[in-house]
Structure 1
């Protein structure tokens, strides 16, 4: 395996953001559908949705449990909201699949998994959604969807290079059916296995985050300890999806998302201290960071 390439401003300038024309409308800027949430974590979708907007997406729709939908819509008035049937435990119900299939067609990128807990329900929804997903649609699987992904590896692989998977070491181990300690000992080896098995752009989060896809391996060492906080991964997922909705490939969208997320953490740590800032404070820094590259 070749040595990883540094994910820095040099790489980013060589792989720039979309060059939008002045006459482009909000639909042309990219439409993101965020699917997730549960009664225990009803607000997690807000972090992902805001991050998608901050990354430049023109429209964002949140599909979540019906009991949280009104509050979500009021908290994020720029978002459309789809109220989904829910189980007695407050999870998205499996029979939501038909509503989600009808909704997907109007979007350019889908984020599936944030703030979901029940892995069995996630598996059922993936089984219904993956075969119907347009082959060229940008798909990001996060959180509970990553732990359920191993049962759908062939369907994800069949999508070619139109998917992004964003695990930490424990989720990467679940994706491979491996022991977490073995992944921790050789994260790059595990990452290579996952990229081959799923045919997607795959990252593994850590003090140094690595991203593999399109025959490349990138490394970002930055951000700091403060990024290890609840909701941080939801923000990262939104940044990546917002960029993917605008036409960036999974590798480029993930690379820019990782860098924006990490540099936002670095700036907050310099301003506020190494820990103690909130995940919701990351996304507002993304537009300025993009302008600065």
Structure 2
């Protein structure tokens, strides 16, 4: 296992953000497709979509259940919305795959999994989507998609280094079929195993978050307790995907996303208090943090 390298401004300066020319249009700035949501958490996609925009993406599309599509589109008029068939329980229906496959071609990065709650449906959709993804498509799997990833390790690994996985310790344990206690005792060993098994950039969230891809392991200690709040992971996913859509490789996109997410938490803890701020207050700080590096 590689010794962890500090994820700090020195590392970020050595691995800079994309340098866009002045006449680039919104398509050239990167297009993100966010797939997820359910009746129980119909607005979760808004957090991911805003974060992708705040990270610099030019266009964001939300694909979610039909009953939430119009409210979501009204709440965030900058986003395009794809209304997907839904089950009686309010989840994205398994037969949505064809609609999603048609939509994917128009995007540079995909986030799959936020605010979905039926693991069997997630697994079915993932099985349909993975073989159809272009080899160079940036893919981020989050939330229940991480638990389903265990059944698709070979397909994920076959994509080479174009995938990011963003588990906390419990999700990492599910990905590996391991005991959560064992992962908590030695998260770096579990992270190493996951990076090798899935062939992706993999992070494990915690008081110190670690990110691993190939022979590189980064460590970010910061952000604070306030980041442990509903919706925080949705924001992180959007930041990473927004950067990936602009052309950053998975390791760099994930590293910048982790740092932006954590530093936004740190600033809010200083100005508002260590806990009590909302996930939706994180993303608006990202542009200023990027400018400051």
Provide TM-score, normalisation by structure 2: 1.00
Q: Verify: 1:209 aligned to 2:203, yes or no.
A: no
Once the 2 structures are TM-superposed, how far is the Cα of residue 250 of structure 1 from its aligned partner?
Answer: 0.2
1:114-160 deviations in Å (ceiling 9; x for gaps): 00000000000001000000010000000000000000000000000
1:130–1:155 contact (8 Å) kept in structure 2: yes
Name stretches of at least 5 consecutive residues in structure 2 with no aligned partner: none
2:109–2:138 contact (8 Å) kept in structure 1: yes
CA distance in 2 between partners of 1:128 and 1:146 (Å): 16
CA distance in 1 between partners of 2:23 and 2:197 (Å): 41
Name stretches of at least 5 consecutive residues in structure 1 with no aligned partner: none
User: 2:197 matched to which residue of 1?
Assistant: 197
User: 2:269 matched to which residue of 1?
Assistant: 269
Q: Verify: 1:58 aligned to 2:58, yes or no.
A: yes
User: 1:146 matched to which residue of 2?
Assistant: 146
User: 1:18 matched to which residue of 2?
Assistant: 18
SS in 2 for 1:81: strand
Q: Structure 1 runs of 4+ off > 6 angstroms?
A: none
The correspondence of residues 3-82 of structure 1 with structure 2, limited to 5 A, is 3-82=3-82
2:195–2:214 contact (8 Å) kept in structure 1: no
Provide TM-score, normalisation by structure 1: 1.00
Once the 2 structures are TM-superposed, how far is the Cα of residue 3 of structure 1 from its aligned partner?
Answer: 1.8
SS in 1 for 2:117: coil
User: 1:110 matched to which residue of 2?
Assistant: 110
What's the C-alpha RMSD, in Å, of the aligned pairs? 0.4
2:137–2:162 contact (8 Å) kept in structure 1: yes
User: 1:98 matched to which residue of 2?
Assistant: 98
User: 1:185 matched to which residue of 2?
Assistant: 185
Q: Verify: 1:89 aligned to 2:85, yes or no.
A: no
Q: Verify: 1:248 aligned to 2:248, yes or no.
A: yes
1:35-71 deviations in Å (ceiling 9; x for gaps): 0000000000000000000000000000000000000
CA distance in 1 between partners of 2:187 and 2:178 (Å): 12
1:256-293 deviations in Å (ceiling 9; x for gaps): 00000000000000000000000000000000000000
SS in 2 for 1:203: strand
